[in-house]
Every structure is written in C-alpha cells, then in structure tokens.
Amino acid sequence: MLAYYYAQVKKKQEEIIRLNACRASLQGKQSEFQANEQKCLQPELSTSTWHGTLAAAFQDIREAGIHAPYLEITGAQFTKVFNAIDDKIIALQAEIVSLQQTIARLEAEARAKAEEARQS
C-alpha cells in the first residue's frame, strides 16, 4: 500500500516538473510574440506607398483585426495560461503534502504494529 502512495507522490512531482518546463517554454514564446508585435503593422503605409480610402480601411483592419487580437494573445491569453499552470502546480503540491501525510501515518501505524508484535 505504501508503494502506491510513493508512486503517486513521484507521479505528481513529475507533473510539476513538466508544468514548470511548459511554463518556461511558454514564457519564451510570449517573449517572441512581444518582440514581433510591430510586424502586425508593417509595412507602414504612407503617401508614397499607399493612401486613400482603401488604405485607411486596410489600416483599420490591420489595427482592429490583427494588432488588437495579437495584443490580446500576448497579454491576457498568456496570463490566463500562466495562471492555470500556477493553479495546477499549487493543487499538485497540496496533493503531494496530503499523500506524504498519509505515508507518514501509514508508516507510523506499521511501526506501532511491529512494536506491538515484538512486545507480545
């Protein structure tokens, strides 16, 4: 029975390691997104490149339809993912503590039974 609980602790510790690695990878991706933000607005439109009502409509689409959602991804959506990862890590840590307490209780019971059997 103890082996089961030890295996569960190990499994949950490995999950935490994977989640931390995932978080680090996502932080790198977020940095890439932030570094490439200005590409949403390139090439810049000017009177020498393209102008007029179609250019203005295109610029509006670029800003509202591409740049704003891009900022949503780099900000709020990444934040939600990081929060979800952090919440899962906290939950796993709590489960590990609970499992370790169960292990300690079972080991204490086993020691008490062994001591009782030795005294009998």
Mean pLDDT of the 53-58 span? 88
pLDDT in tens, 66-107: 999 999 999 999 999 999 999 999 999 999 999 999 999 999
Identity of residue 20: N
Domain boundaries, the chain: 2-37+50-119
2-35 helix and 78-119 helix, angle to the nearest 10 degrees:
160
Taking the alpha carbons of 76, 78, 82, 84 in that order, is the dihedral positive or negative? positive
Residues 67 and 56: their CA atoms lie apart, in Å, by 15
Mean pLDDT value across the chain: 94
Percent above pLDDT 70 for the chain: 100
Confidence of residue 14 (pLDDT cuts 50, 70, 90): very high
Confidence check: pLDDT of 42 > 80: yes
Residue of 16, 30, 13 lying closest to 85 (CA atoms): 16
Question: What radius of gyration, in Å, describes the C-alpha atoms of the chain?
Answer: 27
Euclidean distance between CA atoms 11 and 95, whole angstroms = 11
Gap between the Cα atoms of 84 and 98, Å rounded: 21
Considering only residues 37 and 100, tell me which one the structure prediction assigns the higher pLDDT: 100
User: What confidence tier does 46 reach under pLDDT thresholds 50, 70, 90?
Assistant: confident
